[in-house]
Amino acid sequence: MQPSLPEVRPNHDRRRTRAAAVFAAAVAGAIVSPRAAQAAEQVPDGTFDTSLGSWYAYGVAAGPALTAGALCVDAQDGTVNPWDAAIGRNDIPAIAGEGYQLSFQARATRSVVVNANFQHGSGGFELIAGGATTITTEWQTFTANGTAPLGFADGQVVFQIGGKGAFTICVDNVSLQGGVTAPPYVPDTGPRVRVNQIGYLPFGPKRATIVTGATTAVPWQLRNAAGSVVRSGMTTPRGMDITSGQTVHTVDFTSFTRSGSGYVLAADGEQSYPFAISAGVYEQLRKDAKTYFYTNRSGIEIRDALAPGYGRAAGHVGLLPNRGDTAVSCQAPRDFMNFWTCDPSFARNVTGGWYDAGDHGKYVVNGGISVALLMSEYERSLTARTADRGALGDGTLRIPESGNGVPDLLDEARWELEWMLRMQVPAGAADPGIAPYEGMAFLKVQDAEWTGLPLAPAADDKPRELHRPSTAATLNLAAAAAQGARLFAPYDPGFSSRLLAAARTAYRAAKRVPDLFAPDADGNSGGGAYSDRDVRDEFYWAAAELFLTTGDDEYRADVAASPLGNGAVFSVDGFSWQTPGALGQLDLATVPSHIAGRDKIRASVVKAADAILAVQRAQPYAQPYAPASNQWTWGSTSQVLNNLIVLGTAYDITGASKYRAAVLEGADFLFGRNALNRSYVTGYGTVSAQNQHTRMYANQLDPALPHPPAGTIAGGPNSGIQDPFAQGKLAGCAPQFCYIDDIQSFSTNEIAINWNASLSWVASFIADLDDGANDGN
């Protein structure tokens, strides 16, 4: 048995610096120096024939006890996290680079999932071998292998049994063999013929990639569901693809336009996963990509009737054991931020909004780009030539507000905008720690320390903290609120006025305090740092949105004066939460206005699209993303998507079919036409991501919990592989292989609102194309 690996305390999420945490072990022992690990027993007292030896338990109702030659304990109700109760043995040294094999026998009075780990007992609690293990009522033997990522003296074998209620568990014959070579990780990539696993539009491009050692063209066949050959031809050799390290060919079957399901592509002795050819292959994704935002809402009960399988209690509303977001004060002083304090009596109600990613933090700088992309998706539907005008209207999503006369996508955006308004520093604050930041936006609200997986929002018992305002957060508020003001004006003039007033105030505050940056080290506990020391693009974005909403000369002048107005906001590596100036440029190019030089702005978008198109055409897998360094970034799937947004906007501007085709082919990469032969979107494709890093959708750790909702995109290949789990599996990986679908791999497999917002925009763009025949020219 090779159990999947859960996260161990503490968690270190994306863009986050490691933090030390104190593991609540009950027994301390003498620290010994690491010694050479041999292929010999490292646990001398794991048979429990006559005694418990150095084993201990904490957080339990009774035990540990020696029972019929096994160690048994009674777990109790009232614990929340897995590590709140445990059986363990400390002071087991580990040698960096050495392999270890953990084995044991276990049974329980009922079937229960526990974490059985050999791990570092301090520091980052790095996991070496073990994972989430389902213990049943019958004795079973379990084995797990792993390699130590670093050397330490204070390793521990631990069975984390908290958060599961009352039961009795017994373990026996616990063994840790040192110096055992761990089997190499080899991903299952399925057939060597790689296609878009959900399908192709009838009149869109239809291409595939084949992994093969053949140096000359090989024949291919397209077969229908009955097995009949409906099209055939010869492949095009493409040589070595540096992003995957594979030798590949490509296949083009664009000329085949007959709709149907169950098609397969065969070549070089292999057959692809099945796929469809249909005008409707992206219609459901248009909706599903947005369901993610409803299920990620904070401060509201998620109704199972609206999101079957995802119903849960409201999170962070102040009900025990939760500390809640109803009255949150400033971050307690830290070594890296001891220059900022405020009176503990200061408190803000910051309920609502969306949980940002795998944790329960809420971040204005990531919320801004996320809600803006959803609003831009809606705004595009008002003007784009190909847009299905009613596809984003009232009654199109399963959310509580549906049927209120407001487009559902705007209702979803409002949930985040209302929260962002609460994050604005109020006027008239007497506290000298707060007063200088009047009108600015707090950077984030998060737990005071890391929590583990799985953890429902309502069960989070950590204190919540507001983190110091930043200029970037303030400008995110200004931009998003200004955009929201113009979109909500026809539906709720009062809310529109609130948004515009907040946007104006925030913009003035950012000009007053133009260089207040989030500390790089503010990711040491409880949440991500989200540091950004270049806010020229945020200023440009905010000025653009304020101008488009108001037409005021002040904002017009600021747009014109920005050095970014000539297209410098774009990069072939994609825009992100740190570089949101692209959003301003895209809106200036497409939202009707009287901005001077609009033709040049539109031309800059087309120029950026042409540069992305050139990158894409050079890639055998047709992804519109290939950094010159060959180092893929955290959240690479969102970089692909954001480049598709630029290409889609160029299509809206010009009507040129090459941009439409580029969006479709770029989407193929996300849905299986890639080196791993995997769709990065849950529920879409024969093999799709389903074990993304998240506290709420942790089915991999607890079968009672769901996988992420269908339509949730994983962060994707990341050359940095910053988490220990990925490091142990993927060292030396070619960029496309720097991904693993495991909940432990937060650096390659996290989920995030900004990534899903990009997916939502692209899904709508493609769904609007219908059968793909509306080329424009």
Q: Which residues are catalytic?
A: 359, 693, 741, 750
Q: How many CA atoms, within 13 angstroms, populate the side-chain half-sphere of residue 257?
A: 6
* Dist. CA 288–CA 683, nearest whole Å: 10
d(Cα 443, Cα 531) in Å, to the nearest integer? 10
At residue 241, what are phi and psi to the nearest 5 degrees?
Answer: -95, 110
CA 438 vs CA 426, 474, 481: distances in Å = 6, 11, 17
Q: Which residues pair with 87 in a beta bridge?
A: 57, 159
SS (H, E, C) 241-283: ECCCCEEEEEEECCCCCCCEEEEEEEECCEECCCEEECCCCCH
Residues 609, 611, 612, CA angle at the centre, nearest 5°? 65
Residues 6+ apart with CB under 8 A from 184: none
Residue 628 neighbours by CB under 8 Å, 6+ apart: none
Torsion of CA 673, 675, 678, 680, to 10 degrees: -80
Terminal alpha carbon distance of the chain: 57
* Tokens 């910051």 -> residue: 350
- In sequence order, what are the residues at sequence separation of 6 or more whose Cβ sits closer than 8 angstroms to the Cβ of residue 479? 368, 372, 503, 538, 541, 542, 544, 545, 546, 580, 583, 584
Strand order in the sheet with 152-160: 56-58, 86-94, 152-160, 112-120, 127-135
Within 10 Å of residue 22's Cβ, how many Cβ atoms? 9
Distance of alpha carbon 452 from alpha carbon 8, whole angstroms = 7
| Count of residues making up the chain | 777
Q: How far apart are CA 504 and CA 276, in angstroms?
A: 49
How far is the C-alpha of 758 from the C-alpha of 765, rounded, in Å? 11
Residue owning tokens 């009654």:
395
Two tokens at 16? 């986050």
CA distance 456 to 319: 13
Whether the CB-CB separation of 223 and 274 falls below 8 Å is answered with no
> The dihedral of CA 403, 409, 410, 413: what is its sign?
positive
Question: How many other C-beta atoms lie within 10 A of the C-beta of residue 557?
Answer: 12
